[in-house]
Amino acid sequence: MSQNDDLQQDEVTAAVVEVIQAAGAVAPLHPDTDIYAAGITSMMLLGILLDLEDRFQVTIREQEFLVLRTAQGLASMIVNLRQAH
């Protein structure tokens, strides 16, 4: 992974944390914190999914989204999706 990839990963991770915090009023949220343990409920997930898809212009498969439990994991998936296009 190049330094540019690291920067992109960090920027995406920060943005994912911001989206999750806004959706669930959970703050502060560490990128490796389990989002469900932090207070995110299943009812909040659809809004988070739609916000992330809109913000990053990607399509996230629900099955993949639901098994990722951290902002870091979600950010990694988004970076991979963006690099695939």
Domain with residue 34: its CATH number is 1.10.1200.10
Number of domains in the chain: 1
CA distances in angstroms from 77 to 16, 33, 56, listed in the order given: 11, 16, 11
**Residue 77, domain extent:** 3-84
For 53-75, what is each residue's pLDDT tens digit? 999 999 999 888 888 999 999 99
pTM of the model: 0.85
Whether a cis peptide bond, with omega within 30° of 0, leads into 31 is no
With bands split at pLDDT 50, 70 and 90, how would you rate the model's confidence at 52?
A: very high
Give the torsion sign (CA, 60, 66, 37, 72): negative
